[in-house]
Amino acid sequence: MSNKQPIWTKSFLNISISNLFIFIVFYALLTLLPIYVTEEIGGSESEAGLIITIFLLSAIIVRPFSGRLIDRFGKKKMLVTSAAFFAASSFLYPLVDNYVALLFLRFFHGVWFSIVTTAAGGIAADTIPRERRGEGLGYFAMSMNLAVVTGPFIALTLLQYVSYMTIFLVLSGIMMIGVLCTLGVKVIENSEPAPTHKLTFNDLFEKKSFPIAIVGLFVAFSYASVISFISLYAKSIGLLEAAGFFFAVFAVAMLVSRPFTGRMFDVRGPNTVILPAFVLFALGLVTLSLTTESWMLLLAGALIGLGYGSIVPSFQTLAIQAAPESRSAHATATFFTFFDTGIATGSFILGIIVTTLGYANLYMMLGIFVIGILFFYQWIQKQKKTEKRLQSQTNY
């Protein structure tokens, strides 16, 4: 008879569904707004890009403070409040008819996205039994994986039949369901009162999560090439139609592998998942660089989905496990601050590099770069083991 504590509790189900709807809205707007800016507002392509960047920028700025806010006001209260404001921000899009106002709205929307995703990630970790955290966070991450496909699909399908205003209202309605789901989440609040001293570095970041968060930044930097340039690359080699299926294959690969990789993480250790995942991610990028036919593009999507899709939840789990139980929100905030920074800087820096190297050479270079990140990760793990050994000898 199994004595394993359950993962799929009512609270875990509610927080996962809420997270799914948050990211559906996020990815739908990520796809829709650049088209909206160029077609409806008359903006340029660079202005369309800034609409995405300003959202990520606000998330990066606010993310370090979100852990402190969650400690100060409580996890449940901040989850519901930030989800409600994220939904309210979605309702404002139909009222905005000029570019500057849209920039301000995107910044405001990004603030609440940062807080609600930090709260949701921390609460999800808290609801999962500690011995099954790798498996549980893997399932939780599936909500984001589903949204990668579902969000753009909803936006682009509706765009063929209804107005932008109607799409904004549909997305707002979806997010309202997400808010209702947050009300059904039971949260164990920290027993210790929130500190009232002046804001310190520890209030913003969890230092014990830094090493894995830094590796995560480099992984996100590499992945930025996929989300930023895959459509342009596919168009340049005459495979734009196949590009529409790239993220579908990408998501399916992640979803199929997630239950197995989560269990392997908990039972056999992180490296049994992370090391092969790095190799698969690198192979996916190399395959992209060599792509000339549709099947190669879809194969690259599957490899990247298996590799990158296993690395991120594994790293998030390691970041949370490195921190004390009471600082799961700080660990989540720290990890995603670095991760968001990697995506933002990757989109910008790689955008400059690609003008010189071209897409194919860029993906080949990043395939090699990912192998370099793998060695960096292994070095960090060795340093951590050495530090633990020295501490045990000192204590002895």
Query: Sorting pLDDT into bands at 50, 70 and 90, what band is 394?
Result: low
Least confident window among 82-91, 111-120, 316-325: 316-325
Over the stretch 166-211, which tens digit does the pLDDT of each residue have? Answer: 999 999 999 999 999 999 988 876 655 555 556 676 767 788 888 9
Q: What confidence score (pLDDT) does residue 351 get?
A: 79
pLDDT higher at 4 or 300: 300
Q: What confidence score (pLDDT) does residue 341 get?
A: 87
Rounded average pLDDT over 256-273: 84
Residue boundaries of the structural domains of the chain = 1-187, 205-386
Rounded average pLDDT over 31-41: 82
Query: Sorting pLDDT into bands at 50, 70 and 90, what band is 1?
Result: very low
Mean pLDDT of the chain: 85
What HEC string does the chain produce?
A: CCCCCCCCCHHHHHHHHHHHHHHHHHHHHHHHHHHHHHHHHCCCHHHHHHHHHHHHHHHHHHHHHHHHHHHHHCHHHHHHHHHHHHHHHHHHHHHCCCHHHHHHHHHHHHHHHHHHHHHHHHHHHHHCCHHHHHHHHHHHHHHHHHHHHHHHHHHHHHHCCCCHHHHHHHHHHHHHHHHHHHHCCCCCCCCCCCCCCCCCHHHHCCHHHHHHHHHHHHHHHHHHHHHHHHHHHHHHCCCHHHHHHHHHHHHHHHHHHHHHHHHHHHHHCCHHHHHHHHHHHHHHHHHHHHCCCHHHHHHHHHHHHHHHHHHHHHHHHHHHHCCCHHHHHHHHHHHHHHHHHHHHHHHHHHHHHHHHHCHHHHHHHHHHHHHHHHHHHHHHHHHHHHHHHHHHHHHC
| Pair 94, 165: CB distance under 8 Å | yes
Looking at the domain 1-187, which fold is it? Growth Hormone; Chain: A; (1.20.1250)
Number of residues in the chain: 396
Please list, residue by residue across 244-257, b when 16 or more beta carbons sit within 10 angstroms of its beta carbon and e when fewer do.
eebbbbbbbbbeeb
Instruction: Quote the percentage of the chain above a pLDDT of 90.
Output: 34
Rounded average pLDDT over 307-322: 88
pLDDT above 70 for 51: yes
- Type of residue found at 295: W
Query: Sorting pLDDT into bands at 50, 70 and 90, what band is 290?
Result: very high
Report the range out of 234-238, 247-251, 274-278, 342-346 with the highest average pLDDT. Answer: 274-278
Q: What confidence score (pLDDT) does residue 251 get?
A: 82
How deeply is 258 buried, as exposed, middle or buried, from its count of CB atoms within 10 A (0-12, 13-18, 19+)?
buried
Instruction: Quote the percentage of the chain above a pLDDT of 70.
Output: 93
pLDDT above 80 for 391: no
| Residue 393: HSE in the Cβ half-sphere, 13 Å Cα cutoff | 6
Rounded average pLDDT over 33-58: 80
Rounded average pLDDT over 114-121: 89
pLDDT above 90 for 106: yes
Rounded average pLDDT over 307-332: 84
Rounded average pLDDT over 251-263: 81
User: Does 205-386 match 1-187 at the fold level?
Assistant: yes
205-386: which CATH architecture?
A: Up-down Bundle (1.20)
Q: What confidence score (pLDDT) does residue 349 get?
A: 84
Longest dimension (CA), the chain: 70
Asked whether the whole model's pTM tops 0.95, one would answer no
CA–CA separation, 202 and 64 (whole Å): 10
Cα distance from N-terminal residue to C-terminal residue, the chain: 39
Q: What confidence score (pLDDT) does residue 262 get?
A: 78
Query: Sorting pLDDT into bands at 50, 70 and 90, what band is 157?
Result: confident
Q: What confidence score (pLDDT) does residue 297 get?
A: 93
